[in-house]
Amino acid sequence: ADSAAQSVKRAGGNGFAFFEAHMQAGVREQVELARDLRAALAGEAGNGRLALHYQPKIATAEGEVTGVEALLRWNHPLRGAISPVVFIPVAERFGLIMPLGDWVIAESCRQIAVWREAGLQMRVAINLSMQQLRQPEALVRRFETALAQHGVDARYLTCEITESVAMDDASATERSLQRLAELGLSLSIDDFGTGYSSLAYLRRLPVSQLKIDRSFIQDLESSADARAIVKAVIELAHALGLQVVAEGVETEGQAEVLRGKRCDKLQGFLFARPMPADELTRWATSVPDDRLRFSASVYATL
């Protein structure tokens, strides 16, 4: 952590050094971000807005929108948009991930209800942190409260858990996953392929979906190895009764390969970027179903 702070110092000197999305913030910046995030969570005016953006998941065969993934956005009052890759680790480190996660759960339930009022049955997948799963009772209560408050059925919610978190064999984690499944939520393993999980272990968890990590999707057209890995993952997942989603699909070529391998759902910039809720509503209601079936290129023009 010290060297990270030093490199930030070298880069900018005053603790307000510019940093890229994938660089870890230095210690001083983390402290400042944590303070500002706490203020944003408290809803204090002038401390920037938290929002969920939504990215569609598309059924490969039918071309229908089957649901969306909710991705957290924070518009910092001075720094502008800050990536969750930067502020989620800050929230985890400074004890803010529970309130932040609670906000995400409540906000997605509220939005599901808004969409329902507008006649759209939209399933929403939210991302969960390890620390949220470490407190099964608190987490389950939070879901129950938010679902009841907005009159939302649990089957409209999916929880995405990264592979490394799912492989954590702590009993609390496993109990959380069991309790969430009992509540009626679907569970999905995110960024699959980046960890070292055995499918034999995953099979014991109440999981219904695997999301293949973007790194494999990126290499689909250029690497025979990536194609072999993706093919094997899809076949094994299907043999275990799991649905497969490809994340980060950016080209028509990648989508073609994935269709050929019977990947169930596709998600990525080729179809749509994560969008604010009202934009997603317009997008979802303006894409004619029959056009979705044939080509992804139509999405780019909408």
Among 8, 68, 104, 202, binds ligand C2E (CB under 6 A): 104
Other CB atoms within 10 A of residue 289 CB: 10
In the complex, minimum distance from the CB of residue 241 to ligand C2E, in angstroms, rounded to a whole number: 23
Q: Tell which one of 30, 191, 255, 296 touches Mg ion (CB under 5 A).
A: 191
Interface pattern 116-135 for Mg ion (x via CB under 5 A): -----------x--------
Of 110, 93, 92, residue with least CA distance to 101 = 92
Is 250 a binding residue for ligand C2E by CB under 6 A? The answer is yes
DSSP per-residue codes, 77-144: TTTEEE-HHHHHHHHHHTT-HHHHHHHHHHHHHHHHHHHHHTT----EEEE--HHHHT-HHHHHHHHH
Which residue's CB is nearer to ligand C2E, number 211 or number 261?
A: 211
* Contact flags string 185-214 toward ligand C2E, x per CB under 6 A: -----xx-----------------------
Shortest Cβ 86–ligand C2E spacing (Å): 9
- Residue from 75, 269, 279, 298 touching ligand C2E (CB under 6 A): that is 269
Burial of 29-61, coded b for 16+ CB within 10 Å and e otherwise, reads bbebbbebbbebbeeeeebbebebbbbbbbebe
> What character string, x for contact with ligand C2E (CB under 6 A) and - otherwise, covers 20-49?
------------------------------
Give the closest residue to 84 by CA, choosing from 46, 38, 52. Answer: 52
User: Which backbone phi and psi does 259 adopt, to 5 degrees?
Assistant: -60, -45
- 274 lines the binding site for ligand C2E (CB under 6 A): yes
- Tokens 């993934």 map to which residue? 69
Positions that interact with ligand C2E (CB under 6 A): 55, 71-72, 83-85, 88, 104, 126-129, 160, 190-191, 247-250, 268-269, 274
